[in-house]
Amino acid sequence: MALRDIAIVGTAQRPSEMNSTFTSVEILLPVIQQLLDKVGIERSEIGFWCHGSCDYMSGQPFSFVSAVDAIGAWPPIIESHVEADGAFALYEAWVKIQTGEVDVALVFSNGKTTSGPIDQILSLQTDPYMVAPLKPGFDALAALQARACLEAGVVTERQMAEVAARSRRDAHNNAIAFTKGNESADDLLAMPYTLNPLRAHDCATPVDGCNAVVLAAGDVARRLVERPAWIRGIDHRIDTQRLGARSMIESSSAAIAAQKAGVAKDRIDVAELHAPYTHQELLLRNAMGLGESTHINPSGGALVANPAMAAGLARFAEAAESIFAGSADRVLAHCTSGPMLQQNLVCVMEGE
Amino acid sequence: MWSVAISAFGISIRTRWRDKKLVVSGTTSHAMVGDVFVAPLEVAYPYKRTVGTLLSRFFTSLSECRLEGTRGSDGRVYFPPAEFDPLTGAQLSEWVSLSDTGTVSTWAWQATPVEGQPLAHPFAWALITIDGADVPMLHAVDAGSPENIAIGTKVKVRWAEDRPGGVTDIACFDVVGGAS
């Protein structure tokens, strides 16, 4: 079966904030309205709605259902939800359009990350008998991975600081970003360890945020935007949940996903990598074979604004915008999930 | 947690149940934060479930201060034991008795422990390969300071006084011959 041509045709993001007192519906509603206005379509033209969020963050089972208020459920709509980052909702929407059942889908995600101790909340997704009872935070698990990489010589502390310095600098150009700075790598290396071998700047800033994108097929996409970001390859791979059985110094699932998504077929101009820790960006670049010719995370990346469950879809939005603007022809968007890069979703998009 | 012995067909099977209670609490008391009233929210799932044959045996051995792993199809020994072969998916049945010492394969320093973690004072998280096993496990090492731990450091189990059966029956690990 030939695959349909499907593209991202519009994106909208809410600027990051902390300790937001708005509900999920209140933060989503204006972003979705803004997106519909930007793309120039009515709600009735959306054939499928797909949402990514995490009930553990709001502390209420099925709390995601209330988000339907932000999209409107009358007349009846077809919608779905993933208990995951919105990037995985985008994958589901892509499959839905591939079935031929619908031509246009709206994907949205939200995370009120600062409402609770996100480091501990995310740890609840680890093995419930062998790992979760010890209550390791995600930062601690990432720190174990970073130490293994440092000892093996796969990364250096200076390279990690350089990733942070570049991301904080680039954040100045992004209205969505939260953490901004002009420190040099030397300045950052002079900072104390927070979770040795990690320093504060090695860990992403948890923020509240949300975003949405519209996907459309074929000529519908061409009608909605001048230069659609065509999805040429998309693939999702998972490493074993058993932390000790994984390689700490490479990301095999990211490498396979990149290969299946066709990353190496041509030059990648811009790669938006969802790397919540500095050493993980370096691991992902190695796994995907991204070299000097690729501009990594011009948005500042998840390091400077990490709304849990929305930071991956934000990478898709940022990468697609560079196609719309004509500043890039072939881009990569990536989303990770789980501790220590357990899951990796890789997507290659091109302009025409 | 409680357990019961069932005798059927002449085989005694020991089954264990475990209370499943995950509590995440962001705020601990009612308070005004600026002009916003904040109320505590506790999430709990207070149900019981049987942990199955493999974990029943494993948790029983821990409560009796013994370490047991399982051998995979490629000969590698998993501790904690794997119920199904990570490579082939086959059910694993060969148990291997292990010593209570191991080696650190990577570590990180938790300078500010969070409530509910194995130790209340600064400690190291580590992946530890138990002697006789091939795949490391996550636990805490009471190393005293980050200078006392490195990749390759030998460690030994410190058993918890109260051992209801679970990974926290191991209170933490101590550095062998060293410093805590």
* Domains of chain B as residue ranges with CATH: 2-25+42-175 (2.40.50.840)
Q: State whether residue A136 sits within 8 Å of chain B by CB.
A: yes
Q: Are residues A265 and A124 in the same domain?
A: yes
pLDDT, tens only, A248-300: 999 999 999 999 999 999 999 999 999 999 999 999 999 999 999 999 999 99
pLDDT, tens only, B41-81: 776 767 788 888 999 999 999 999 999 999 999 999 999 99
CATH number, domain of A50, equals 3.40.47.10
Q: How much is the pLDDT for A1?
A: 64
pLDDT higher than threshold 80 for residue A25: yes
Question: Tokens for B159?
Answer: 């058993």
* Mean confidence (pLDDT) of chain B: 85
Question: Tokens for B96?
Answer: 């291997």
Entry pTM: 0.91
Tell me the average pLDDT across A81-101: 97
Q: How close does chain B come to A151, measured CA to CA in Å?
A: 8
Q: Which helix (H) or strand (E) holds A309?
A: none
Nearest beta carbon to residue B24 from set A121, A146, A198: A121
Q: Are residues A87 and A129 in the same domain?
A: no
Q: Are residues A41 and A165 in the same domain?
A: no
Q: Final residue of a domain: which of A229, A262, A282?
A: A229
List the single residue in B with minimal CA-CA distance to A60.
B43
Q: Are residues A212 and A261 in the same domain?
A: no
Tell me the average pLDDT across B113-121: 96
Of A112, A139, A135, the C-alpha closest to A125 is A135
Q: Which amino acid is at A57?
A: M
Q: Are A18 and A24 in contact (CB under 8 A)?
A: no
Q: Are residues A292 and A143 in the same domain?
A: yes
Q: Are residues A277 and A195 in the same domain?
A: yes
Q: Which of residues 15-44 of A touch B (CB under 8 A)?
A: 19, 21
Tell me the average pLDDT across A37-44: 96
Domain count along chain A:
2
Place of tokens 């074979």: A289
Q: Are residues A316 and A245 in the same domain?
A: yes
How deeply is B144 buried, as exposed, middle or buried, from its count of CB atoms within 10 A (0-12, 13-18, 19+)?
middle
**Are A124 and B22 in contact (CB < 8 Å)?**
yes
Tell me the average pLDDT across B86-102: 93
Q: How close does chain A come to B171, measured CA to CA in Å?
A: 10
Name the band, by pLDDT with cuts 50, 70 and 90, for residue B18.
low
- Give the least confident one: A235-249, A282-296, B37-51, B131-145: B37-51
> Which residues have C-beta within 8 Å of that of residue A281, sequence separation ≥ 6?
A163, A273, A275, A296, A297, A301, A303
Q: Is residue A74 part of a domain?
A: yes
Q: Is residue A30 part of a domain?
A: yes
Q: Is residue A73 part of a domain?
A: yes
Q: Are residues A211 and A292 in the same domain?
A: no
Q: Which domain holds residue A158?
A: 118-204+230-350
Q: Is residue A184 part of a domain?
A: yes
Q: Are residues A106 and A241 in the same domain?
A: no
**Are A195 and B108 in contact (CB < 8 Å)?**
yes
Q: Are residues A267 and A341 in the same domain?
A: yes
Q: State whether residue B119 sits within 8 Å of chain A by CB.
A: no
- CA–CA distance from A291 to each of A62, A294, A296, A332 (Å)? 43, 6, 9, 13
**Are A144 and B107 in contact (CB < 8 Å)?**
yes
Q: How close does chain B come to A106, measured CA to CA in Å?
A: 31
Q: Is residue A1 part of a domain?
A: no
Q: Are residues A247 and A164 in the same domain?
A: yes
Cis peptide before B136 (omega within 30 of 0): no
**Are B127 and A151 in contact (CB < 8 Å)?**
no
Q: Final residue of a domain: which of A229, A244, A270?
A: A229
Q: Are residues A187 and A266 in the same domain?
A: yes
**Are B26 and A133 in contact (CB < 8 Å)?**
no
List the single residue in A with minimal CA-CA distance to B42.
A59
